[in-house]
Chain A
């Protein structure tokens, strides 16, 4: 049975669409009839040109300009001269000649020291693929127009592929690579699409248009599911729906404990598209808008205008609720090809996030201008990632001031009260929290990196994944230092890592006095329900006990037990109430 890691819960039942490996094996065999092979190549090329013309006719404005340029390049004899020579003079088959000939041109662009030009290499690559598809007689798949209830199967799903998807038609995702935190998993959870990653061999085992079922919690894939299997899966889906229905009453409620301690449950988002889920799940704001998507979905630096539009859209849709945008957090495991960052031995400790922004202020300023201009459309806060010292905050704030002055001199409006805060994700920042708090307006603890840096365990490494735990007493102490440091300067402290949504962790956080819980939108309602079932007084006691414990295992066991008791207690109370009602 095919199996992977379930990363987005839900049951998917539907027909498969398999994205086969695009890298067609092309061998360098030679042909007898060169003239005929050359005619065949020309025919394929002309078909691609005709297809492109049809697409271009429907466009207008900049899009049409771009496609017209694309079309002219496609018709440029220089593009195909090497391919034609390989067929006519050397007698290679059309497929191989196309691959080699186009890749020669691709190489010329790749090596140009101009970011825009080197990005054009991907245009040539695209053209090559289209001609090869014709040669191999493959139809290109239109991701925006898949039939209802499609289960998409692929090796990987790139950000640009996911952007094209019409999510309403997707019943599930089965991906060979990826992990719980890869882009596709986060996207699936946000849009509540059942998803399985790490399903090795899926594209080979599954054929197109096969009727299958999948469970996004357990990672199981059912090929040719039996009646019984379908029955039990439908039941699981039904209970998931019920669970969701029960949670829906929390959409408009406040995130407040039984004894009146106020917190906020807010959303992590990656693109303006995610605002649908944010609103549907009753967020009290956006605690983390990862701005990277703007940079990663593009083949060159996004312009100020593109960024401005995205920030404006999110701010407007938040309707006056606070939106915290994290500035560019690239490097580490997130690469931008067009930035040509050097390969590092230790990328997580290297040139990334604020470190790049402070050393290349021109890139930073484009984003800051876009942010400040958008600030008039709502309640914006700017968050700086990877802060390890007070000097970095001061430097960043200086650059922000420079941008403000620039806008003022150009008479461009912006919100003068935009708050500037930092991520606490490096132990040095947590230890110095009390000092750092004096320089900023808020904190947000990023547990994913904080754990990794505190216990020196890479979060992607499966061999040692048991060491990577938010229950490590050192991590909890650092969280406490961050919260206490913030409160001493009367600023708020949030958390935007996975831990903020864990019901075994929430009681500790409430006890330590966390003000804001930021998480994937689909987790917000159950977190809010959890917070509403807690007593702040009791949580303080729990936090106090946990702080005196020395083993992650014991802390985890204690919290698991506490949550179990809490739930049973609630059920007992519910049963008692029911009993009382019946007696009356």
Chain B
């Protein structure tokens, strides 16, 4: 299992659009992907769950990838965070 903590810089937080962007990426990979923030653990393949975690700007988010292609998944998610989900 891989784990990494990244600070969310996206100004509006993980709102509908970035949340769905993130879920889209997560769904491409067979491994389990979880986000841990504000004491909540959510499935990163569900935009609804990501949104329900209410992750705001400057929140530390732990990403966990576990299983097949976990390295590739982690890399792409990290990229997406760095690019502020294209916003």
Contacts and interface: CB of A to CB of B under 8 A. Distances in A.
B20 A73 contact: yes
Q: Which size class do B's interface residues fall under?
A: 10 to 19
Contacts of A114: 13, 54, 56
Contacts of B13: 114, 116
B16 A69 contact: yes
B17 A78 contact: no
A76 B43 CA distance: 11
Contact of B46 (A65, A66, A76): A76
Interface stretch (A38-46, A105-113, A261-269): A105-113
B20 A68 contact: yes
Interface string B35-51: 00000000100111101
A61 interface: no
A396 B10 CA distance: 33
A72 B54 contact: no
Interface string A68-81: 11101100111100
B52 A66 contact: no
Contacts, number: 49
Secondary structure class of chain B's binding surface, majority of residues: helix
Interface in B38-82: 43, 46-49, 51-52, 54, 56
Interface residues of A, number: 20
Contact of A72 (B15, B20, B52, B56): B20
A76 B13 CA distance: 20
Contact of A73 (B43, B47, B54, B56): B47
A93 to B, nearest CB: 24
Given A72-B23, A73-B20, A109-B52, A116 B15 contact: yes
Interface in B5-26: 12-13, 15-17, 19-20, 23-24
A73 B16 contact: yes
A69 B18 CA distance: 9
27 contacts: A65-B17, A66-B16, A66-B17, A69-B17, A69-B19, A70-B16, A72-B24, A73-B16, A73-B47, A73-B51, A76-B47, A76-B49, A77-B46, A78-B46, A78-B48, A78-B49, A108-B52, A109-B51, A109-B52, A112-B52, A112-B54, A114-B13, A114-B56, A116-B12, A116-B15, A117-B54, A120-B51
Interface of A: 65-66, 68-70, 72-73, 76-79, 105, 108-109, 112-114, 116-117, 120
Report, nearest first, the 8 A-B pairs whose CB atoms are least far apart.
A69-B16, A72-B20, A78-B46, A76-B48, A69-B20, A78-B48, A112-B54, A72-B47
